[in-house]
């Protein structure tokens, strides 16, 4: 049997997911950069806090709309399948992988990265809103970077390990520049690559269920993301 058609299918799938990821990331970053909704937030917040709130709101809304548009306007069968697997039951192995990855990532952020980790537990409207607003990222990013990417690559018979690593790589790419400029721009990439790869492993181990990865991602966003953004 001629292996060339299969190889072409694999390369086409890799190219499609890479191009889609570049578009997803570029549109999300452009929206955050050029749309300002800081006027929606309390005057009691500092300018930096309102800017972060605006970025979170614009980013979460944009990424949610991109996923829905891809699924129902562009009619991506892989995105629609991912959305349908949001609440699918997952075996214990998938939950264990996602839980371990989430706890290790949160522990690293809280005890190594954040300069004032005690602020995470502050009871304030600032903490509440900045935790809730970007929580949708935990769903939309999992639909794209785990659901769409893994399901598309699986249809092209890409090996499982390559699916996992490519998903982690694309997920890391959306975090370039998140922590600042210079070295800080690339410092989150290793951690997010590892996290994304483990979540991809959880999805594959969970027979395509995205629920463990979605819940773990939402927890990380709610607990750590506000203070990572404000620490820049």
Q: What pLDDT, on the 0 to 100 scale, is given for residue 139?
A: 98
What is the tens place of the pLDDT at every residue in 160-178? 999 999 999 999 999 887 6
Structure tokens at 191: 């951690």
* pLDDT at 35 > cutoff 60: yes
Q: What pLDDT, on the 0 to 100 scale, is given for residue 228?
A: 78
What is the tens place of the pLDDT at every residue in 189-227? 889 999 999 999 999 999 999 999 999 999 999 988 887
Q: What pLDDT, on the 0 to 100 scale, is given for residue 2?
A: 54
* pLDDT at 184 > cutoff 60: no
Q: What pLDDT, on the 0 to 100 scale, is given for residue 111?
A: 85
Residue with the bigger pLDDT between 118 and 56: it is 56
What is the tens place of the pLDDT at every residue in 100-116? 999 999 999 888 877 77
* pLDDT at 63 > cutoff 70: yes
DSSP per residue over the chain, as a string? --SHHHHHHHHHHHHHHHHHHHHHHHHHHHHHHH---GGGS-TTS-HHHHHHHHHHHHHHHHHHHHHHHHHHTS--HHHHHHHHTTT----HHHHHHHHHHHHHHHHHIIIII-S-GGGGG--SHHHHHHHHTTHHHHHHHIIIIIIIHHHHHHHTT--HHHHHHHHHHHHHHTTTTTT-STHHHHTHHHHHHHHHHHHHHHHHHTTT--HHHHHHHHHHHHHHHHHHHHT-
Q: What pLDDT, on the 0 to 100 scale, is given for residue 40?
A: 95
Q: What pLDDT, on the 0 to 100 scale, is given for residue 177?
A: 72
| Cα gap 158→149, rounded to integer Å | 11
| Cα gap 109→127, rounded to integer Å | 17
Q: What pLDDT, on the 0 to 100 scale, is given for residue 183?
A: 59
Q: Say which range, 69-78, 101-110, 142-151, 223-232, has the weakest mean pLDDT.
A: 223-232
CA-wise closest residue to 112 among 190, 10, 34, 39: 190
* pLDDT at 77 > cutoff 90: yes
Structure tokens at 223: 């607990």
DSSP per residue over 44-79, as a string? TS-HHHHHHHHHHHHHHHHHHHHHHHHHHTS--HHH
Q: What pLDDT, on the 0 to 100 scale, is given for residue 176?
A: 83
Q: What pLDDT, on the 0 to 100 scale, is given for residue 13?
A: 98
Residue with the bigger pLDDT between 24 and 186: it is 24
Q: What pLDDT, on the 0 to 100 scale, is given for residue 226?
A: 80
* pLDDT at 1 > cutoff 80: no
Mean of pLDDT over the chain: 91
Q: What pLDDT, on the 0 to 100 scale, is given for residue 24?
A: 98
**Where do the domains of the chain lie?**
4-230
| Whole-prediction pTM | 0.93
Structure tokens at 141: 């990013």
């Amino acid at each position: 049997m001629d292996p060339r058609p299969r190889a072409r299918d694999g390369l086409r799938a890799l190219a499609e997911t890479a191009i889609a990821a570049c578009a997803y990331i570029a549109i999300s970053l452009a929206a955050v950069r050029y749309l300002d909704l800081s006027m929606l937030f309390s005057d009691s917040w500092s300018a930096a806090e309102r800017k972060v709130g605006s970025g979170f709101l614009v980013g979460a809304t944009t990424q949610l709309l991109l996923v829905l548009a891809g699924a129902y306007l562009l009619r991506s069968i892989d995105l629609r399948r991912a959305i349908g697997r949001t609440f699918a039951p997952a075996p214990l192995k998938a939950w264990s992988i996602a839980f371990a990855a989430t706890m290790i990532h949160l522990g690293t952020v809280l005890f190594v990265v954040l300069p004032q980790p005690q602020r995470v537990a502050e009871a304030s409207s600032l903490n509440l809103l900045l935790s809730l607003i970007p929580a949708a990222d935990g769903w939309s990013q999992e639909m794209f970077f785990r659901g769409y990417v893994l399901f598309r690559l699986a249809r092209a018979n890409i090996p499982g390990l390559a699916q996992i690593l490519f998903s982690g790589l694309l997920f890391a790419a959306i975090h370039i520049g998140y922590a600042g400029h210079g070295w800080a721009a690339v410092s989150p990439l290793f951690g997010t690559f590892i996290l994304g790869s483990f979540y991809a492993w959880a999805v594959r181990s969970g027979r395509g269920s995205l629920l463990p990865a979605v819940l773990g991602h939402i927890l990380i966003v709610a607990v750590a993301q506000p203070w990572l953004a404000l620490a820049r």
